[in-house]
């Protein structure tokens, strides 16, 4: 019988499976941090994690997950601790394989908003802003993880904090970003990719028990559908390691 798991646990496990040994991953706080650490424990001992606070190659202690990538627990057994500007320079020099973060809104071309919701002159909601998000999405292949809700998957984001494929097609390169782009979007319903030419979001795999109609009903635009696969549910091993890392359920509640 399949073990029960939360939506956040599903996001962490499915995201971790996308990471490979030997990669350099620039991870944001929350599920991205947890998923990168999980991948390191399970199948990627040579995976190097970077944090925006300037940390390269940290060892995150199980049960002591940092609430922020600028927190001192991020530095334990790290290979290096640099100024923030220097760690961002590694992005510009092409040393980072994968950028990994979340967002409040995403559109069909993978543009992310983490700045505000509503009228910029009088927004309904003010969000944390870019941090290093724009740098990361501009210069790496991106994995984004977020809950699949119509209010998050919108026709057009209220503000492009972190660029995806801009307007689709070749618009990203024409905007001055010849490298990088969106790789995968992992949600609690599906795994999404992007078409080769139009660079529009496409459903590639559904999680166990999820229908394509559920995905469509929770997406605020007409989403394309590829040759659908079904993901394997989180294994007992994956869940055990995940819960050891986060026993207080800081990120996997």
Determine which one of 9, 52, 200, 238 is catalytic: 52
52: annotated active-site residue? yes
Phi, psi of 27 (to 5 degrees): -105, 135
For 109, the token pair is 């071309």
Active site residues: 52
């Amino acid at each position: 019988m399949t073990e029960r798991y939360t939506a956040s646990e599903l996001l962490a496990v499915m995201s971790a499976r996308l990471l490979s040994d030997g990669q350099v991953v620039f991870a944001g706080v929350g599920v991205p941090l947890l998923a990168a650490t999980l991948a390191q424990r399970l199948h990627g001992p040579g995976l190097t994690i970077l944090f925006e606070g300037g940390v390269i190659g940290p060892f995150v202690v199980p049960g002591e997950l940092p609430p922020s990538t600028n927190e001192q627990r991020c530095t334990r057994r790290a290979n290096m601790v640099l100024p923030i500007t220097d760690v961002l320079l590694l992005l510009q020099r092409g040393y980072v394989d994968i950028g990994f973060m979340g967002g409040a809104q995403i559109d069909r071309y993978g543009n992310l908003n983490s700045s505000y919701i509503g009228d910029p002159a009088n927004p309904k909601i003010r969000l944390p802003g870019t941090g290093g998000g724009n740098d990361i999405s501009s210069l790496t292949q991106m994995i984004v993880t977020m809950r699949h809700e119509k209010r998050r998957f919108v026709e057009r984001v209220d503000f492009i904090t972190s660029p995806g494929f801009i307007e689709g097609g070749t618009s990203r390169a024409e905007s001055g970003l010849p490298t990088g782009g969106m790789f995968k979007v992992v949600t609690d319903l599906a795994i999404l990719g992007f078409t080769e030419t139009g660079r529009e979001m496409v459903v590639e795999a559904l999680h166990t028990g999820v229908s394509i109609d559920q995905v469509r009903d929770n997406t605020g635009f007409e989403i394309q559908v590829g040759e659908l696969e079904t993901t394997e549910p989180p294994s007992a091993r994956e869940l055990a390691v995940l819960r050891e890392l986060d026993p207080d359920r800081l990120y996997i509640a």
